[in-house]
Amino acid sequence: MPAKLRIAAAFALAAAFTLALRAPARAIPLFAQRYQLQCSACHSVLPELNSFGNAFRAHGYQLPIPKHGTTGVAMRYQMEWEADPAAGTRRFSPGGVLLSNADIGAVSAFIHYNLGAGGGPAGLFLGYLATYNAHTQSLYRLGLFELPLAQSPGQRLDDLAPYGYYGAHVGLNDLSLSSPRWGLQAERAIGSATADFVVDFGEFKGSAYGGKPVPTGETTAANSPEFGMFLRAPLTSNVQVGGDFITGSRRIVPAGRNTFSDAYQREGVLAKLTVHKVELQAEQWWGSDQNADGFGTRTGSAGGYARLKYYVTPHAYLGVRYDAQAVPFISRDWVYYAAFHVTPHARLLIQQVQPVGASGHLGAALTVGFPWPAHL
């Protein structure tokens, strides 16, 4: 099927289902049963968070209201489909994750454990302790967490394609922005702005649903702690801007070669505009590696995205995104997608990834949240 017809078919199907299925989201655990909330209180289109959901997460998953249970477990299952799978890959790729949370006084423990997919192993994707200090308006996380990026790279993605520079590797440095980190995160509200500081010592290698690892022939690890700073501030009620900075050093052991270290930096800027049901977000990153290949080669990199989303209903959206990166080879993609609630506990996503100058591919995914016993 020609790319334009695939795109038109995907959007037509999404629009038809969106208009027909304006079902409100109802409560499931983890947190809904605990606080007797509706899913729509925190989620727009599962598993994407709305503004209240993001604020709830930023307060350590705790609210100043009575609780109805202390521990919750839920399962999220996702079935991905590719119209034209590449050689050696599957047309249908199932995957699942277990999500769990427990409050111990003022500390909240959160776990995202993938069950393996596509021949990959099961394993811990996220696992951290969090606490929120209301007096100083500060959040602290300790353990394995995502970097506080503008778009969640693994847990709450609004489509299936990596965002711009998020998944980029530079030379033999395989540490991407999307990799969860082992370390400490401190977040503080400063007026209407938010500042995050991160120090980490290692990272998770793999995917949120446990996809099969791709052997590279190198072994890499942190050579020294990585430090990061992330700032977000509103200019007006509709406009938000931000800036990010990360620096660290990698220890790289290539197959059959001597070990070397690569000192690196990453800087990013962000802008977001929201007008009624329309959201425009753009982000640009630049990177610098002092020894990307083990031969002393200084390598620059860059990449980013621009995304336009239209929320047809509170539980359905249409999106188009332009991704680009140069690491150092240049690649550019258009991503067209739509997502909507099929039931209060299930999201259907349809997307067309169209590389510039190459053939595109159509894919889809059904993501389902399975309710667990209401009280454990």
Q: How far apart are CA 29 and CA 94, in angstroms?
A: 22
pLDDT over 70 at 28, yes or no? no
SS3 category, 15: helix
- Cβ(166)–Cβ(153) below 8 Å: yes
Q: Please state the rounded mean pLDDT for residues 78-104.
A: 87
- Cβ(232)–Cβ(193) below 8 Å: yes
SS3 category, 50: coil
Q: How far apart are CA 166 and CA 180, in angstroms?
A: 12
pLDDT band at residue 30 under the 50/70/90 scheme? low
pLDDT band at residue 199 under the 50/70/90 scheme? very high
Residue 71: per-residue pLDDT: 54
Residue 56: per-residue pLDDT: 80
More confident call, 290 vs 60: 290
Q: What percent of the chain has pLDDT over 70?
A: 88
Class of domain 3-370: mainly beta
Least confident of 65-74, 98-107, 154-163: 65-74
47: preceding bond cis by omega (within 30 degrees): yes
pLDDT over 50 at 10, yes or no? no
Q: How far is CA 10 from the centre of its chain?
A: 23
The one-character DSSP state at 170 is B
Q: How far apart are CA 295 and CA 287, in angstroms?
A: 18
Residue 205: per-residue pLDDT: 84
For the chain, the straight-line distance linking the first and the last C-alpha, in angstroms and rounded, comes to: 50
**Count of Cβ atoms closer than 10 Å to residue 223 Cβ:** 16
Q: How far apart are CA 206 and CA 123, in angstroms?
A: 9
Mark out the alpha helices in the chain (DSSP H runs).
Answer: 3-20, 31-35, 51-58
Q: Tell me the pLDDT tens digit for each residue of 219-273.
A: 899 999 999 999 999 999 999 999 999 999 999 999 888 999 999 999 999 999 9
Q: Tell me the pLDDT tens digit for each residue of 351-374.
A: 999 999 899 999 999 998 876 544
Q: How far is CA 96 from the centre of its chain?
A: 16
- Cβ(356)–Cβ(332) below 8 Å: yes
Residue 371: per-residue pLDDT: 64
pLDDT over 50 at 5, yes or no? no
Tokens 């001597």 locate to 258
Mean pLDDT of the chain: 85
Q: Which residues of 46-62 are buried (b: 16+ CB within 10 A; e: fewer)?
A: bbbbbeebeebbbbbbb
Q: How far is CA 284 from the centre of its chain?
A: 16
pLDDT over 50 at 24, yes or no? no
Residue 222: enclosing H or E segment and its boundaries?
strand 218-234
Of the spans 29-43, 79-93, 286-300, which averages the highest pLDDT?
A: 286-300
Q: Which two tokens stand for residue 314?
A: 């509170």
pLDDT band at residue 15 under the 50/70/90 scheme? very low
Q: How far apart are CA 274 and CA 307, in angstroms?
A: 12
Residue 207: per-residue pLDDT: 80
Q: Nearest to residue 136, comparing CAs of 221, 195, 79?
A: 195
Integer angstrom CA distances of residue 299 from 134, 173, 268, 368: 43, 11, 17, 42
pLDDT band at residue 89 under the 50/70/90 scheme? confident
Q: How far apart are CA 369 and CA 47, in angstroms?
A: 9
What lies within 8 Å, CB to CB, of 296 at 6+ separation is: none
Residue 19: per-residue pLDDT: 38
Q: Tell me the pLDDT tens digit for each residue of 296-344.
A: 999 999 999 999 999 999 899 999 999 999 998 999 999 999 999 888 7
Residue 218: per-residue pLDDT: 84
Q: Tell me the pLDDT tens digit for each residue of 162-181.
A: 898 999 999 999 999 999 99
Integer angstrom CA distances of residue 128 from 49, 110, 134, 145, 201: 19, 6, 19, 6, 14
pLDDT band at residue 43 under the 50/70/90 scheme? confident
Q: How far apart are CA 67 and CA 70, in angstroms?
A: 7
